[in-house]
């Protein structure tokens, strides 16, 4: 008897100090025991949780599934795992993972189940966040593909068709002057098409980054974009290291693209300024417009992926984004990246905490 008492006391000690919630049930499927961590989580006395009392804390939408899986496993004497929402002592529902296994006595007779429960809410939130971001990235990828398809079909395809028709007409010309004029027009059309294809190629991948670096690539892009949209874009650069890593160069170049395209599309401004400068420990990109301005908090909550994409890109290189904007007085987007970025922290959630972004 003394040995049995010591054994029970040892179990109680271990169960109550375990870092998980523990429960036990008898052969009638009713709960016969929960440890102190369970009681602390639920905020109710022991007798309220025994029997079927524990199920009163299960979210109404999860209760039927929870009980069905428990009963099925119990009847088949199988181990099980269930995810469901359980009400905490503060009234909040938390996602928990409940794992149970059958218990047998020394004579191999079934005597019920024992299980453990852990709070997996943060894991579920992280999964949801990753799923949302993945869907946004997929949507952005599909939008980019649709844009490329439209450009190829509606613009470049039509202009190629026109060029072919004009070249065919030249075959019927007899006047040298007509042939020369037609040839010059065809050459100009081909040059325009080449420029459009080059711009499309640069949007997909900026090869100039691999050969001449971020400074030259940014300058060339600003010039091309200004000519394409008939706006003014001034670029000032300072102390940009020639050996800047490719991941940092590509990150800042993509942010420059996104920021300028957003500004041209939404700001109603015709003048833009870009600063690119490196200090001792970090490199900074700033894109300024003199347009209508916006509210960063609202823009970030919107459906567009532009600012979220910038934010996610900067996480990869341990960078930060911030925005200075006033309605009617323009906007400036700042991106700062360490010159020698370390890998972002595992949770990845606070790289840009406290910074306004859209």
pLDDT tens-digit profile of 101-131? 999 988 899 999 999 999 999 888 877 666 6
Lowest-pLDDT choice from 105-114, 149-158, 272-281, 327-336 = 149-158
The yes-or-no verdict on residue 49 having pLDDT over 80 is: yes
CATH value at residue 218: 3.30.565.10
Binned at pLDDT 50, 70 and 90, residue 285 comes out as very high
- The arithmetic mean of pLDDT across residues 226-254, rounded, is 88
- Final residue of a domain: which of 154, 177, 204? 204
Q: Are residues 12 and 96 in the same domain?
A: yes
Domain encompassing residue 81: 2-119
How far, in Å, CA of 75 to CA of 67, rounded?
Answer: 12
Closest Cα partner for 215 from 195, 238, 199, 198? 238
- Given this model, what pLDDT does residue 355 score? 36
Same domain, 225 and 169: no
Give the whole-angstrom CA distance, residue 25 versus residue 4.
20
Q: What is the CATH number of the domain that holds 95?
A: 3.30.450.20
Q: Which residue among 177, 204, 231 closes a domain?
A: 204
Distance CA 216, CA 176 (A): 44
Residues 22 and 153 reside in one and the same domain: no
pLDDT attached to residue 23 = 95
pLDDT digits (tens, 9 = 90+) for 74-92: 999 999 999 999 999 999 9
pLDDT band with cut points at 50, 70 and 90 for residue 44: very high
197 vs 195: CA distance, rounded Å:
5
What's the predicted TM-score (pTM) here?
A: 0.45
Cα separation, 59 vs 72, whole angstroms = 20
Question: What does the DSSP 8-state code read for residue 264?
Answer: H
In terms of Cβ atoms closer than 10 Å to its own Cβ (0-12, 13-18, 19+), residue 189 is middle
Q: Mean pLDDT for the chain?
A: 81
User: Are 124 and 104 in the same domain?
Assistant: no
Q: How far is CA 135 from the centre of its chain?
A: 8
Mean pLDDT throughout 204-219? Answer: 76
pLDDT in tens, 294-339: 877 766 665 445 777 788 788 888 899 999 888 878 899 999 999 8
Q: What is the pLDDT at residue 350?
A: 36
Give dist(CA 322, CA 255) in Å, integer.
Answer: 12
User: 344 falls in which pLDDT band (50, 70, 90)?
Assistant: very low
Cβ proximity of 224 and 243 under 8 Å: no
Provide long-range contacts, Cβ within 8 A and 24+ apart, for 66-71: 66/98, 70/29, 70/100, 71/29
**What average pLDDT score do residues 230-246 get?**
89
Give the strands of the sheet with 93-104, arranged side by side.
31-34, 21-25, 110-119, 93-104, 80-87
Among residues 279, 285, 280, 277, which one has the least CA distance to residue 250? Answer: 285
Report residue 63 as tokens. 């209760």
The two three-digit tokens of residue 273, written as one number = 């300024």
Instruction: Tell me the C-alpha distance between 87 and 41, whole Å.
Output: 8
Task: Please determine, for residue 274, whether its predicted confidence score (pLDDT) is greater than 80.
Answer: yes
Quick check: 150 pLDDT over 80? no
Please state the domain count of the chain.
3
Which one has a higher pLDDT value, 125 or 43? 43
| pLDDT greater than 90 at residue 41 | yes
Work out the pLDDT band at 341, boundaries 50, 70, 90. Answer: low
Q: For residue 131, what pLDDT is reported?
A: 62
Domain boundary among 89, 119, 149: 119
Check whether residue 236 and residue 342 sit in a common domain.
yes
pLDDT value, residue 303 = 43
Q: Are 94 and 140 in the same domain?
A: no
């Amino acid at each position: 008897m003394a040995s049995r008492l010591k054994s029970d006391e040892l179990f109680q000690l271990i169960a109550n100090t375990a870092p998980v919630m523990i429960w036990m049930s008898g052969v009638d499927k009713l709960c016969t025991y929960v440890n102190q961590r369970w009681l602390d989580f639920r905020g109710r006395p022991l007798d309220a949780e025994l029997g079927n009392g524990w199920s009163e804390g299960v979210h109404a939408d999860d209760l039927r599934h929870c009980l069905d899986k428990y009963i099925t496993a119990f009847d088949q004497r199988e181990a099980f795992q269930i995810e469901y929402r359980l009400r905490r002592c503060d009234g909040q529902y938390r996602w928990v993972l409940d794992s149970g296994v059958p218990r047998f006595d020394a004579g191999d007779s079934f005597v019920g189940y024992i299980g453990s429960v852990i709070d997996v809410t943060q894991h579920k939130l992280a999964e949801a966040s990753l799923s949302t971001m993945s869907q946004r990235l997929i949507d952005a990828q599909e939008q980019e593909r649709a844009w490329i398809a439209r450009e190829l079909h509606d613009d470049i395809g039509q202009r190629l068709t026109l060029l072919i028709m004009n070249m065919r007409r030249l075959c019927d010309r007899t006047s040298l002057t007509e042939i020369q004029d037609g040839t010059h027009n065809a050459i100009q059309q081909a040059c325009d098409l080449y420029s459009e294809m080059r711009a499309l190629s640069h949007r997909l991948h900026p090869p100039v980054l691999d050969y001449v670096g971020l400074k030259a690539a940014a300058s060339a892009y600003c010039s091309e974009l200004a000519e394409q949209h008939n706006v003014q874009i001034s670029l000032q650069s300072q102390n940009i290291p020639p050996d800047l890593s490719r991941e940092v160069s590509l990150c800042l170049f993509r942010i420059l693209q996104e920021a300028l395209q957003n500004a041209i599309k939404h700001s109603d401004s015709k003048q833009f300024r870009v600063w690119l400068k490196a200090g001792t420990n970090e490199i900074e990109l700033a894109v300024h417009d003199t347009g209508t301005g916006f509210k960063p908090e609202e823009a970030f909550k919107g459906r567009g992926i532009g600012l979220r994409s910038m934010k996610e890109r900067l996480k990869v290189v341990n960078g930060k984004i911030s925005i200075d904007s006033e309605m009617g007085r323009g906007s400036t987007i700042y991106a700062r990246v360490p010159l020698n970025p370390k890998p972002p922290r595992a949770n990845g959630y606070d790289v840009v905490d406290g910074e306004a972004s859209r």
